[in-house]
Amino acid sequence: MILKSQVEWALHCCAILAGLPDGRYLSTKALAEFHGLPKEYLSKALQGLSQAGLVDTSLGPSGGYRLAKPPAELTFLEIVEAVEGRQRTFVCTNIRANNPCRPKDHCESSPCAVARIMWEADEAWRAKLRGVKLSDLVGILSQEVAPELWKSSFEWVLERAG
């Protein structure tokens, strides 16, 4: 069970978009080039962000993506779910229904304890991601990334932001 690599891509892209000046857009092409990713496939991840309403888009030259809300209001969970989907990581195939001792008319209405426990763990994972804002990430990165690299990356992006 491994998350799609698109999750990593989307998070990185959002971190970049968070540094974009108001009203400007950054294209898929620029984001793909900056991260060394296949443009067409990265596009699918960005479309996921768009469909989830996390980013705004603009067409034509100088078009691209920008965040739909401030980084402080955008959580990791939203980004992860936009790309990875909202389905729980544990799915019940209801194998208890195959119990040979089970009467024909027997019908369990609610999910069994196994599923509930696994779903609680799933929710703990989501709660952790829900508690981290995109602005938190930017704050950490701004402290950890080497200043000259931080600056040159910012300028690289600005040159290409429409």
Partner DNA sequence: TAAATAAGGATATCCTTTGTCCTTGATAGG
Partner DNA sequence: CCTATCAAGGACAAAGGATATCCTTATTTA
- The residue among 97, 90, 157 whose CA lies nearest residue 126 is 90
Binding test (CB under 7 A) with DNA, winner from 10, 13, 20, 46: 46
Q: If contact means CB under 5 to 8 A according to the sort of partner, which of a copy of itself, DNA, ligand SF4, none does residue 111 touch?
A: ligand SF4
Binding test (CB under 7 A) with DNA, winner from 38, 53, 70, 139: 38
Stretch that binds DNA, among 54-62, 71-79, 116-124, 131-139 (CB under 7 A): 54-62
Q: Which residues inside 57-116 make contact with DNA, applying CB under 7 A?
A: 57-65
Backbone φ, ψ for residue 94 (5° rounding)? 55, 50
Contacts of 151 (CB under 8 A, 6+ apart): none
Distances (CA, A) of 86 to 24, 42, 79: 30, 20, 11
C-beta of residue 122 within 8 angstroms of C-beta of residue 84: no
DSSP code at position 101: T
Residue ranges binding a copy of itself (CB under 8 A): 1-5, 7-9, 11-12, 15, 33-37, 76, 84, 87, 89-93, 95-103, 106, 112-114, 117-118, 120-122, 124-129, 132, 136-137, 140-141, 144, 146, 149, 152-153, 156
